[in-house]
Amino acid sequence: MDNILVSTKVTKRFGGLEALSKVDLEVRRGAIQSIIGPNGAGKTTFFNCVTGFYTPEEGEIIFNGHNITGMSPDRVTHRGISRTYQNIRLFKNMTAIENILVGMHPHLKSWLIGAIVRDPRTVREEAEALKEAYRLLEYVGLKGRGDMLAKNLPYGEQRRLEIARALASRPQLLLLDEPTAGMNPSETQAMVHFIQRLRDELGITILIIEHQMRVVMSISEKITVLDFGRKIAEGTAKEIQTNPTVIEAYLGRGAASGLGEATAQG
Amino acid sequence: MQNKYTDWKQALRSGLLGGVIVVVLSLIGIVAAFINTYVIHDVISLGELLILGPVMALSLTAIRKATNKQPGFLLLTAAISGLASGLVILALAGLGQVINLRAMFLNASPDLYAIYAYQQAPIPGLLLRLLVCVIVSLLTAGFTLLPARIKTALGQGLLYIVVIGLMGRLITMMLSNWGFVAILFQWMFAANSLSLIGAIVLFLLTAGLAYWRYGRPKVKRITDPKKQKVVRWGTLAGLGVILIFLPNILGLWFSEILDNVGLFILMGLGLNIVVGFAGLLDLGYVAFYAIGAYTIGVLTSPELGFFNWTFWQAFPVALLMAFISGLLLGLPILKMRGDYLAIVTLGFGEIIRILVLSDWLKPWLGGTQGIQRIQRPVIGIEGVWTRTLTSQQDLYYLILAGIIVVAFVAIRLRDSRLGRTWMALREDEDVAVAMGINHVATKLTAFAMGALFSGIGGTLFAAKIGSIYPSSFQFLVSINILSLIIVGGMGSIPGVFVGALALIGLPELLREFAEYRYLFYGAALVAMMLTKPEGLWPEARHRLELHEEATPPPEAEAEPATENA
């Protein structure tokens, strides 16, 4: 099987706390996969290890056949991994279009001299970047919002702008950290469709962190369940739903009935 | 009834506060100091204005806060407020007669009481004062009852009289450069202030204009892009002409101020890149100014006798030195943020200053004696026409040229990929790095460019002064530059110009107020930061949807595009 991302025995400790312990995870190229787990399970820590924010104490992360363990975040992005954040982290005082343009950074070249002289190559590069940025803005459904400051956009639009910014670096692997946090059921549904569309139209592999299980049930090819930094289960949505360890660890004892309800909707 | 009662109390409170303000202003001495600084010659002085101003202002507050808005009631409120203010003033005068306040307050002098009493005998004089307080309060109330249009006109007229009257000395000084043109305006001024006839004419003109303009659309928005271009270039050309002739219009004394303002604009533009764009708080910025100036000094001064280069030979070396020192400062502090960064840069600034002062480097840098006889820049072609730039007016053009180049570069940088990268770093460093931005290269470029601009400022400073001393490169200079950026508006290029004019130019103009100028200046700064915390000319990133790009209204697109997936 062609795996775009393989992590083997990834361990991350903070002082005495083991935030991740020996996590193995494989992401198939072109798939939508999910990591779920209760709060503090180590989901975001895992993202931070993949994107270079943290260096794991043990284990390694292979992306596209290259070892990216401990690589600095900017270089990881250049390799083709891009992410969004659980609590939206846009460049608040920059406009929507500028946010996307910053996202395109890895594909642009002009620097000091180009900026001052504005040689034809820089001018062309900037014009093309701007066009591309507007195209992306439209793609995520924010047409006409380009000149608004990011902080002035409504919540849902901020989420989509963050995805547009992540897409701007033309990633092969997109990491979405709770993309539906704070959304109502219909917005959530729309976001799920949108994620599916990203994969189908752009061919990007997508790894989602989710807190609510029902969000990812319908679209995930494979679901990995983390709890207290350990992988406790992995499999298709069906397998996870019926896995007794998951039901117990994830939803707590005696919550199995609640899970049934949730999956019925999902 | 309860309502009415609170209004009385409130009027009384406002009035007492107004009186207290007058008393405080009197006791710190500014009322007596400015009693002969006329706004309108022999009619009203700044000192008198400092008494009546607070009284009127607090009456206005009382009127604004009053819940009962009937005209008669408002007049009564104002009268109570004015009376209360007057009584407080009288109380000071009375107290001064009974006990010797001068032991505590040097300014509680008989002179002050005489001013209160309009130079009359105490009893009738002070009663007159009380009456005046009530009358001006009633006038204030009457003013608020006028129709808006007349109110605006009157307000504008009075404002112009006060401003022009106070700047009378500066204006007459400026006029002295104008030769025969000055005669046209001479009748308006008398002894450094407006003449009565001048004030009346000025009032009629400005109030009339305000009356006429009231309710009319301000300036028609030009939408035709071709016309816009014409207007833009026209404005630029006009500005250019004004800037070229400015030293001639304003005279020598103003040119000196302009040069200083210009040097601070240069440095402000540089620091704005570091602090405003990239968000790196640098408190040792004066170091690069010193490096630029000292490089010129060492390379050109025949006194030290090392190189004896010309200014223009030394100039590129000085810029290179500043640029490199920017990079060197940048290296150790890459990982630092916010407060820590500020402390380290502060240390760097001090290190440079102390190195320059040190005995160790004295043979090269002159120690406390500094470096004298720095070569002035010479322009022109050898053998055809040359000119050594020495006067304030000559240097003005050199500094202006420097500003134009630096501002151009700053604008280009701001609007480039590099500028976006800086701003992203300022907004959220972690996320910026996750966007693939190399924070090392980005920060170093910001530091180096900032240092380069400051270095240019330093070279021109050396050229202007002709001799440099370590005392010119105090920590306070860094603070001044930082303040002007904050006052102008963080990250805003026009803000740097406005900030430099306000912070460096204004105190010079306020020389009118002698030793009190920094008091006024400080008060103005505090007031400004309270009313306009974003700066005088904040960065224009709020164009919102006005951009041409936004063809359909955003609402039409607001429904999630994901629906039609």
pLDDT above 90 covers what percent of chain A?
77
How many angstroms separate the CA atoms of B536 and B531, rounded? 10
Contacts of A194 in chain B (CB under 8 A): 560-562, 565
- Amino acid found at A251: L
- Pick from B420, B437, B547: CB nearest A146: B547
Residue B392 DSSP code: H
Closest CA to A75 of A92, A63, A65, A85: A63
Given this model, what pLDDT does residue B4 score? 58
Query: Which of the residues A91, A167, A176 would you substitute to probe the B interface, choosing the one with the greatest number of B C-beta atoms within 10 Å?
Result: A91
pLDDT bin (cut points 50, 70, 90) of residue B550 is very low
Which of B357, B369, B515, B345 is closest to B447 using CA atoms?
Answer: B345
Please give the pLDDT value at position B481: 94
Q: What is the number of alpha carbons within 13 Å of residue B104 lying toward its C-beta?
A: 6
Residue B281 confidence (pLDDT): 92
pLDDT above 90 for B28: no
Under DSSP, the state recorded for A21 is E
Q: What is the mean pLDDT of residues B68-72?
A: 86
The residue-averaged pLDDT of A132-155 equals 94
Best B413, B435, B437 member to test A by mutation, with max A CBs in 10 Å, is B435
- Asked if B561 lies within 8 A of A83 by C-beta distance, the reply is no
Helix orientation angle between B71-98 and B46-65, rounded to the nearest 10 degrees: 130
Give the residue on A whose Cα is nearest the Cα of B544. A148
CA atoms B334, B340, B342, B345: torsion sign: negative
Give the C-alpha distances (Å, rounded to integers) separating B197 from A162, B163, B206, B228.
Answer: 65, 16, 14, 42
**Rounded to an integer, what distance in angstroms lies between the CA atom of residue B276 and that of residue B455?**
18
A146–B432 CB contact, under 8 Å: no
- Report CB contact under 8 Å: B542, A112: no
Cα–Cα distance, B565 to B560 (Å, whole number): 10
Q: What is the mean pLDDT of residues B86-93?
A: 92
pLDDT of res. B485: 93
CA distance B555 to chain A (A): 9
Q: Which residues of B touch A197 (CB under 8 A)?
A: 562, 565
User: How many other C-beta atoms are found inside a 10 Å radius of the C-beta of residue B53?
Assistant: 17
> For residues B164 and B134, is the Cβ–Cβ distance under 8 A?
no
- pLDDT for B464 equals 92
Distance, in Å, from the CA atom of A234 to the CA atom of A222, rounded to the nearest integer, reads: 7
Instruction: Give chain A positions within 8 Å (CB) of B436.
Output: 74-75, 77-78, 105-106, 169
The whole-number average pLDDT for the span A201-214 is: 90
Task: State the pLDDT at residue A264.
Answer: 40
A82 pLDDT more than 80: yes
Contacts of B563 in chain A (CB under 8 A): 190, 193
Instruction: Determine the distance in angstroms separating the CA of B534 from the nearest CA of chain A, rounded to an integer.
Output: 13
Mean pLDDT of chain B: 87
| pLDDT surpassing 50 at residue B189 | yes
**Sorting pLDDT into bands at 50, 70 and 90, what band is B548?**
very low
Does B557 sit within 8 Å of A144, measured CB to CB? yes
Smallest Cα distance from A191 to chain B, Å = 7
**Among candidates B257, B210, B194, B277, which has minimal Cα distance to B496?**
B277
CA nearest A122: which of A132, A136, A112? A112
Q: Residue A216's Cα: distance from chain center in Å?
A: 13
CA proximity to B133, closest of B78, B179, B174 = B78
The structural domains of chain A, with segments of one domain joined by +, span: 1-80+171-266, 92-169
| Cβ-based contacts of A106 with chain B (< 8 Å) | 435-436
> What is the mean predicted confidence (pLDDT) over A94-112?
94
This model of the complex carries an ipTM of 0.90
Strand A32-36, strand A222-227: pairing? parallel
| C-beta atoms of B547 and A147 within 8 A | yes
Residue B549 has pLDDT above 70, yes or no: no
**A-B contacts (CB, under 8 Å):** 146
CA diameter of chain A: 68
Most confident of A169-178, A238-247, B58-67, B112-121: A169-178
Confidence bin at B514 (pLDDT 50/70/90) = low
Give me the mean pLDDT over the B338-365 stretch: 89
What confidence score (pLDDT) does residue B458 get?
Answer: 96
Q: What is the pLDDT of residue A46?
A: 96
pLDDT in tens, B433-477: 999 999 999 999 999 999 999 999 999 999 999 999 999 999 999
Nearest alpha carbon to residue B2 among B59, B83, B10, B84: B10
Centroid of chain to Cα B37: 23
Tell me chain B's radius of gyration from C-alpha atoms. Answer: 29
- The whole-angstrom separation of Cα A192 and Cα B565 is 10
Distance of CA A245 to the CA centre of its chain: 26
Taking CA B282 as the corner, what is the angle to CA B278 and CA B283, rounded to the nearest 5 degrees? 160
Q: Which residue of B has its CA nearest to A109?
A: B417
Strand partners, A17: A14
Chain A neighbors of B546, CB-CB under 8 A: 147
> What is the DSSP code string of B264-295?
HHHHHHHHIIIIIIT----S-THHHHHHHHHH
Each residue of B280-307: pLDDT tens digit?
999 999 999 999 999 999 999 988 878 8
Partner residue opposite B542 with nearest CB, options A116, A149, A197: A149
Q: What is the pTM of this model?
A: 0.84
What whole-number distance in Å separates Cα of residue A142 and Cα of residue A168?
14
- Taking residue B455's Cβ as centre, other Cβ atoms within 10 Å add up to 31
**H or E element at residue A176:** strand A173-177
Token pair listed for A242: 């019926």
Interface touch A74/B409, C-beta < 8 Å: no
- Match 């494979």 to its residue by tokens: A222
* pLDDT exceeds 70 at position B84: yes
User: What are the chain B neighbours of A72 within 8 Å (beta carbons)?
Assistant: 433
DSSP A108-164: ----HHHHHH--HHHHHHHHHHHHHHHHHHHHTT-TT-TTSBGGGS-HHHHHHHHHH
* Residue among B420, B438, B445 whose CB faces A102 most closely: B420
Q: Vertex B325, ends B323 and B327: CA angle to 5°?
A: 75
Beta carbons within 10 angstroms of residue B484's beta carbon: 27
Residues of B at the A interface, defined by Cβ within 8 angstroms: 409, 412-413, 416-421, 423-424, 427-428, 430-439, 441, 445, 449, 541-547, 549-554, 557, 560-563, 565
> Could you report how far apart the first and last alpha carbons of chain B are, in Å?
67
Look-up: residue for tokens 């990633």? A171
Burial class (CB in 10 A: 0-12, 13-18, 19+), B113: buried
Contact B412, B341 (CB under 8 A): no
Residue, of A217 and B135, whose pLDDT is higher: B135
CA B219 to chain centre: 26
**Architecture per CATH, A1-80+171-266:** 3-Layer(aba) Sandwich (3.40)
**Residues contacting residue B538 through CB under 8 Å, at least 6 positions apart:** B489, B490, B492, B495
Q: In whole angstroms, what is the distance from residue B199 CA to residue B285 CA?
A: 46
